[in-house]
């Protein structure tokens, strides 16, 4: 019992006037925060009709991600298919032709199961001509062995999602009439505290749930990765359609408001008085711990408010039990300057 008392006396003797010491406490907390989600996309034109006529069928709807070879629409009873590749189909292709558009045609024919993958080439030879005839037969096209571009619509971004139908069954269309609006994969998705425009959520490290109305997406961390983009945007799009979140478009970006971010499970954090942390310009905080030499030791860390506890801040669990200065403003200027 004497040893702790001697420590207390030592602390008291070395403590600067006006500066009190304490130890970082511990809390088990749940986290939930309202956020805005901003997604940016590359510019993509609408998919337009390659031929005139009457729309007699739609094979896709909003949210569909058409792949190479998938049917899109029917015009005058003839199906028009999606095609991808290095270049769009800009010319008729026949035996003897070569180039990257022939290679794209081969990939298309493989997707339509008309050409064996081992026969893919950038030369239009016998095997490709035979595959074109098989495709034309299956699609109800006149069979001549010549590839005609109007039987396809070029997708510049593979796996882009249909975001809006621009035409419906029964509509008359001409060459160039918009048929479908598409949304390619996002180039970035960022979370910010609702209404702040640029302040990131103060979620603890680890798995979190994005909740948008009835939609929930589990993420590995509070910062979404490229692998998360599609799931996040799909959930927000569905919630926007249901009226559960709001959606605002500007230039090449869409901002969704009304979603929340919550920790996937309760987390253990350190808790200190808000007065003990000093905000820094870069959005982090500084706290002055007591080093083994009883001198102030600055550490930079993240911090969040503790819901339901006024004047308390949550900091990383690793600091639990460490001694710190409750009010660093009571320290000499040279000590406070360590946080600059």
What pLDDT score was predicted for residue 226? 92
What pLDDT score was predicted for residue 8? 34
- Domain shared by 127 and 206, yes or no: no
What pLDDT score was predicted for residue 100? 95
Domain contains 209: yes
How many residues in total does the chain contain? 340
- Domain shared by 236 and 272, yes or no: no
The number of folded domains in the chain is 3
Give the domain CATH number at 103: 1.10.101.10
- How much is the mean pLDDT over the chain? 88
Domain contains 37: yes
Residue 98 has pLDDT above 90, yes or no: yes
Tell me if 191 sits within 8 A of 222, measured CB to CB: yes
**To 10 degrees, what angle do helices 100-111 and 126-139 make?**
50
Distance CA 212, CA 323 (A): 41
Structural domain of 322: 4-28+267-339
Q: Which of 263, 280, 305 is the last residue of a domain?
A: 263
Burial class (CB in 10 A: 0-12, 13-18, 19+), 225: exposed
Tell me if 138 sits within 8 A of 112, measured CB to CB: yes
Domain contains 85: yes
**Residue 3: band (very low, low, confident or very high) from pLDDT cuts 50, 70, 90:** very low
Distance CA 125, CA 119 (A): 10
What pLDDT score was predicted for residue 328? 86
**Residue 206: band (very low, low, confident or very high) from pLDDT cuts 50, 70, 90:** confident
User: For residue range 174-188, what is the model confidence (pLDDT) as tens digits?
Assistant: 999 999 999 888 999
Q: What's the average model confidence in pLDDT over 258-281?
A: 88
Q: Which residue has the higher pLDDT, 20 or 309?
A: 20
Q: What's the average model confidence in pLDDT over 312-337?
A: 87
Burial class (CB in 10 A: 0-12, 13-18, 19+), 176: exposed
How many C-beta atoms lie closer than 10 Å to residue 308's C-beta? 7
What pLDDT score was predicted for residue 11? 39
- Domain shared by 286 and 240, yes or no: no
Q: For residue 95, what are its two tokens?
A: 């035996």
- Domain shared by 216 and 273, yes or no: no
Q: What's the average model confidence in pLDDT over 116-134?
A: 96
User: For residue range 136-148, what is the model confidence (pLDDT) as tens digits?
Assistant: 999 989 999 999 9
- Domain shared by 97 and 126, yes or no: yes
What pLDDT score was predicted for residue 244? 95
Residue 127 has pLDDT above 90, yes or no: yes
Domain contains 134: yes
What pLDDT score was predicted for residue 307? 67
Q: What's the average model confidence in pLDDT over 309-330?
A: 88
**Residue 294: band (very low, low, confident or very high) from pLDDT cuts 50, 70, 90:** confident
Domain contains 48: no
What pLDDT score was predicted for residue 27? 86
- Domain shared by 117 and 99, yes or no: yes
- Domain shared by 70 and 18, yes or no: no
Instruction: Provide the percentage of residues in the chain whose pLDDT is more than 70.
Output: 94
What pLDDT score was predicted for residue 82? 97
Q: Please provide residue 207's backbone torsions phi and psi, each rounded to the nearest 5 degrees.
A: -65, 140
What pLDDT score was predicted for residue 19? 63
Q: Which residue has the higher pLDDT, 311 or 189?
A: 189
Q: Which of 263, 283, 299 is the last residue of a domain?
A: 263
Q: What's the average model confidence in pLDDT over 103-115?
A: 97
Distance CA 280, CA 277 (A): 9
**Residue 308: band (very low, low, confident or very high) from pLDDT cuts 50, 70, 90:** low
275 closest CA partner among 1, 2, 22 = 22
Domain contains 166: no
Q: Which residue has the higher pLDDT, 289 or 10?
A: 289
Question: For residue 158, what are the contacts with CB-CB under 8 A and spacing of at least 6?
Answer: 67, 68, 84
Domain contains 241: yes
Q: What's the average model confidence in pLDDT over 313-332?
A: 88
- Rounded to 5°, the CA angle 47-141-165 comes to 25
User: For residue range 224-233, what is the model confidence (pLDDT) as tens digits?
Assistant: 999 999 999 9
């Amino acid at each position: 019992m004497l040893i702790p008392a001697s420590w207390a006396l030592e602390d008291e003797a070395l403590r600067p006037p006006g500066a009190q010491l304490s130890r970082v406490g511990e809390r088990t907390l749940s986290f939930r925060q309202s956020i805005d989600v901003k997604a940016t996309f590359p510019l993509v034109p609408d998919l337009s009709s390659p031929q005139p006529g009457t729309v007699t069928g739609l094979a896709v709807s909003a949210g569909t991600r058409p792949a190479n070879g998938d049917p899109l629409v029917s015009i005058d009873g003839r199906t028009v298919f999606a095609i991808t590749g290095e270049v769009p189909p800009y010319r008729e292709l026949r035996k003897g032709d070569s180039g990257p558009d022939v290679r794209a045609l081969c990939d298309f024919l493989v997707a339509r199961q008309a050409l064996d993958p081992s026969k893919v080439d950038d030369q239009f030879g016998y095997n490709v001509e035979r595959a074109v005839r098989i495709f034309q037969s299956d699609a109800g096209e006149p069979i001549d062995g010549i590839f005609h571009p109007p039987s396809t619509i070029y997708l510049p971004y593979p796996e882009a999602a249909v975001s809006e139908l621009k035409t419906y069954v029964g509509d008359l269309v001409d060459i160039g009439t918009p048929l479908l609006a598409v949304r390619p994969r996002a180039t970035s998705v960022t979370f910010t505290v609702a209404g702040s425009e640029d302040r990131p959520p103060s979620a603890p490290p680890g798995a979190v749930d994005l909740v948008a109305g009835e939609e929930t997406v589990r993420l590995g961390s509070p910062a979404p990765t490229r692998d998360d983009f599609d799931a996040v945007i799909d959930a927000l799009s569905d919630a926007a359609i249901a009226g559960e979140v709001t959606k605002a478009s500007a230039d090449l970006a869409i901002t969704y408001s009304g979603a929340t971010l919550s920790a996937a499970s309760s987390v253990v954090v350190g808790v200190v008085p808000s007065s003990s942390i000093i905000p820094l310009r870069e959005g982090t905080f500084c706290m002055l711990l007591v080093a083994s030499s009883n001198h102030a030791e600055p550490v930079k860390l993240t911090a969040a408010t503790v819901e339901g506890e006024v004047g308390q801040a949550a900091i990383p669990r690793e600091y639990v039990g460490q001694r710190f200065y409750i009010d660093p403003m009571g320290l000499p200027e040279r000590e406070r300057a360590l946080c600059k």
